[in-house]
């Protein structure tokens, strides 16, 4: 394991052990989550409610194919969606067993029989080419240490005509977030440079995919691509 991988794993291992704290922040359900969303990301409660909808809307309400989510983290954002997709076959992958243990427990509590979990590295996915109809990635690419490998692998495992979608931090769109990323998230090992800008992300995805749309809300970039 190289240094950056182990640093990231340590950071998320600590977070995984306090899954409730992470969930409260990402769901904006605690005071700390609300303050961080507002101060760091500049999102009021309406914008914050919209971002999850923006991120998940490419998954059709009647989706019934094979879906890969990477990284699943604690599953707090997506397992409720999966409970509405009983005909889908869902595989969740994360590098951190500690983060994913929270997701596994949550899936068990929700009796989700169509969701399986795999520990692994997005840069070397343990699946054959063209295995999935949809690859979903929320808040992962700003953390992954090898972005080129992550973009290559997520495309490799996607079927032709399949959808790659999700969201992550983009640089240069909202100065206050850029400051916190530089001074807090990178030093703590949660985010790993280099970061995409909205323009560089659109360029990269258009080079890889038949269709690619990118939009942002402050420093959160959303994408939907078709292979």
Ligand X SMILES: C[S@@+](CC[C@H](N)C(=O)[O-])C[C@H]1O[C@@H](n2cnc3c(N)ncnc32)[C@H](O)[C@@H]1O
Q: How far is C-alpha 12 from the geometric centre of its chain's CA atoms?
A: 14
- Quote the least distance from Cβ 41 to ligand X, whole Å: 13
- β-bridge partners, 165: 136, 224
Burial bucket for residue 49 (CB in 10 Å: 0-12, 13-18, 19+)? exposed
Nearer to ligand X, 119 or 211 (CB): 119
Assign 150 to helix, strand or coil.
helix
Nearer to ligand X, 84 or 124 (CB): 124
The residue among 142, 144, 79 whose CA lies nearest residue 112 is 79
Nearer to ligand X, 149 or 173 (CB): 149
Nearer to ligand X, 183 or 210 (CB): 183
**Cα(76)–Cα(174) distance, integer angstroms:** 26
- Quote the least distance from Cβ 145 to ligand X, whole Å: 6
- Quote the least distance from Cβ 37 to ligand X, whole Å: 13
- Quote the least distance from Cβ 8 to ligand X, whole Å: 5
Nearer to ligand X, 81 or 206 (CB): 81
- Quote the least distance from Cβ 223 to ligand X, whole Å: 14
| Residue 17: Cβ within 10 Å count | 13
Residue that has been written with the tokens 């409730």 in this structure: 20
Binding site for ligand X (CB under 6 A): 8, 12, 26, 70-73, 77, 94-96, 99, 121-123, 138-140, 143-144
Residue that has been written with the tokens 């929700």 in this structure: 110
Residue nearest to ligand X (CB): 73
């Amino acid at each position: 394991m190289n240094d950056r991988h182990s640093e990231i794993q340590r950071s998320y291992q600590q977070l995984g052990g306090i899954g409730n704290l992470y969930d409260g922040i990402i769901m904006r359900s605690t005071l700390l989550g609300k303050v961080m969303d507002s101060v760091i990301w500049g999102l009021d409660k309406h914008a914050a409610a919209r971002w999850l909808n923006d991120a998940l809307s490419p998954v059709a309400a009647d989706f019934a194919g094979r879906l890969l989510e990477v990284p699943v983290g604690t599953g707090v954002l997506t397992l409720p969606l999966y409970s509405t997709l009983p005909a889908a076959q869902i595989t969740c992958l994360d590098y951190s067993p500690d983060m994913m243990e929270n997701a596994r427990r949550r899936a068990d509590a929700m009796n989700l029989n169509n969701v399986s979990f795999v520990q692994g590295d997005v840069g070397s996915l343990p699946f054959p080419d063209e295995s999935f109809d949809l690859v979903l990635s929320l808040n992962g690419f700003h953390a992954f240490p090898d972005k080129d490998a992550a973009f290559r692998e997520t495309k490799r495992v996607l079927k032709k005509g399949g959808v790659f979608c999700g969201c992550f931090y983009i640089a240069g769109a909202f100065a206050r977030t850029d400051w916190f990323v530089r001074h807090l998230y990178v030093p703590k090992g949660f985010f790993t440079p280099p970061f995409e800008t909205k323009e560089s992300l659109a360029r990269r995805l258009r080079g890889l995919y038949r269709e690619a749309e990118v939009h942002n809300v402050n420093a959160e970039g959303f994408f939907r691509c078709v292979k």
